[in-house]
Amino acid sequence: MADYHFVYKDVEGASTQWDDIQRKLGNLPPKPPAFKPAPFTPAPDEGSVPKDKSWIDEKTEEELEELEDDLDDDRFLEEYRKKRLAEMREATKILRFGSVVPISGSDFVREVSQAPSDVWVVVILYKDGIPECGVLMQCLEELATRYPATKFVKIISTDCIPNYPDCNLPTLLVYNNGAVKANYVGLHSFGRRCTPEGVALVLCQSDPVLNDGQSKNEQSREAVIEGVRRRFLEKVVTQHEDDDDGSSSD
């Protein structure tokens, strides 16, 4: 015959009058506290986060672009969103260049002709073993570092133009918005002594080719030339001070 046992369990935390008397006499341990679940706290959602400047600052460039239609009711935040987006894009543009990048003939259209309309591209046609090409290349490498928002590329002359005469090397081509804006054939185009500052002044004769990326707006030709002259004077002063230090130590 099956033996059935029934165990009665009261509500958790409840006790009988007899248990209460026994606890007062010390015959039973204290009654454990009744279980209470932690209060419910809803997880924060996007709508509960305050939308202010710090909230905008935490967004990535992609997230800021997606917010374009979400901030129409808040003119201040929409203007700040545009400002942050412009700063991010400017920083990206500055980091994009900064050196003289080698390209091949098949790269020319993509890297030069199809460059963004706000980017100036300086192309040097060269060949290894020609001293004049090495002199101009050194100048361009220094300018590429100074003006990282301007794109500098180099290509072997005959890869760019078949049968291009070596007597025309080095040759500089200046492009903007898919068109040739200037060309300079031979090292003599940059004066008796080819220096980075001299090359910079020639490049900016008619257009603001060089850009250091510090200005939020497109720099004018006059502003660029003034910056080139300032850098030239600073370099002359530094060289003069170095020469004086060297003389005094002898």
pLDDT at position 7? 46
CATH number of the domain at 98-237, please? 3.40.30.10
pLDDT at 182 over 50: yes
pLDDT in tens, 14-47: 566 767 777 777 777 777 776 677 776 655 555 5
| pLDDT average, residue stretch 67-92 | 71
The token pair at 95 is 């980091």
139, 142, 146, 150 alpha-carbon torsion, rounded to 10°: 60
Burial of 5 (0-12, 13-18, 19+ CB in 10 A): exposed
Q: Which of 25-34, 207-216, 240-249 has the lowest mean pLDDT?
A: 240-249
| pLDDT average, residue stretch 229-237 | 73
| pLDDT average, residue stretch 200-222 | 74
DSSP-assigned letters across all residues of the chain: ----------STT---HHHHHHHHTTSSPPPPPPP-PPPP-PPP-GGGS--SHHHHHT--HHHHHHGGGT-TT-HHHHHHHHHHHHHHHHHHHHHH-SSEEE--GGGHIIIIITS-TT-EEEEEEE-TT-HHHHHHHHHHHHHHHH-TTSEEEEEEHHHHSTT--GGG-SEEEEEETTEEEEEEESGGGG-SS--HHHHHHHHTSSS-----S--SSPPPHHHHHHHHHHHHHHHHHHHHHHHHHHHHH-
Pairing of strands 151-156, 100-102: parallel
| pLDDT average, residue stretch 208-213 | 80
Q: What is the three-state SS of 86-120?
A: HHHHHHHHHHHCCCEEECCHHHHHHHHHCCCCCCE
pLDDT in tens, 96-125: 688 999 999 999 999 999 998 889 999 999
pLDDT at position 217? 46
pLDDT at position 43? 55
Q: What is the Cα–Cα distance from 185 to 125, expressed in whole angstroms?
A: 10
pTM over 0.85: no
Mean pLDDT across the chain: 79
Domain with CATH 3.40.30.10 in the chain: 98-237
